[in-house]
Amino acid sequence: MAKINDKNKEPERYYDWIGWKLKQERKKMKNGKLDYHKDMEDMVNHPPHYNQAGIEALDAILAATNEGSEYYLQGNIIKYLWRYRYKNGSQDLEKALFYLQKMIKVVKKLEENDNVNIK
């Protein structure tokens, strides 16, 4: 690994950065600053890999699907409930809950405008 003069300076090379980042996280763990629940919540509610140029993928999908957005949300709820035992456990259950809460908001908005047929 290349030597870095300033230990706090973020390295440019990928593998050097991984080692540097690991050391940063270990320091946080030793100092009690790492909050795993908050980190998991961010990965559930606002994963950084689904946010490009300040627009979350979910917001773009809901805007594009408009009237069919509740079906998209329902599909994600089913997906995460289906796979939680085989993939990410409680994180998938939290994702299912996240999509359910979004779906409730969408359906309530549709109900306010009499645009939903639920019987």
pLDDT of residue 1: 47
Note whether residue 41 is domain-resident. yes
pLDDT of residue 69: 87
Separation CA 36–CA 28 (nearest Å): 11
pLDDT of residue 96: 93
pLDDT of residue 104: 92
Q: Is 9 left (phi over 0), alpha (psi -120 to 50) or beta?
A: beta
Residue 57, token pair as written in the block: 């993928």
Q: How far is CA 84 from CA 1, 41, 45, 93, 96, in A?
A: 38, 16, 16, 6, 9
SS3 28: helix
pLDDT tens, N- to C-terminus, the chain (119 residues)? 445 456 667 777 877 777 777 777 777 776 665 555 555 556 666 677 667 677 787 888 888 887 788 899 999 999 999 999 998 899 999 999 999 999 998 888 888 887 666 65
Q: Is 5 left (phi over 0), alpha (psi -120 to 50) or beta?
A: alpha
74 and 118: one domain?
Answer: yes
pLDDT of residue 83: 92
Residue 73 · residue 108 · CB < 8 Å: no
33 and 62: one domain?
Answer: no
108 and 62: one domain?
Answer: yes
Q: How many domains does the structure of the chain reveal?
A: 2
pLDDT of residue 117: 63
Query: What pTM, to 2 d.p., does this model score?
Result: 0.57
pLDDT of residue 42: 67
pLDDT of residue 94: 92
Domain that holds residue 20: 10-45
Separation CA 55–CA 13 (nearest Å): 28
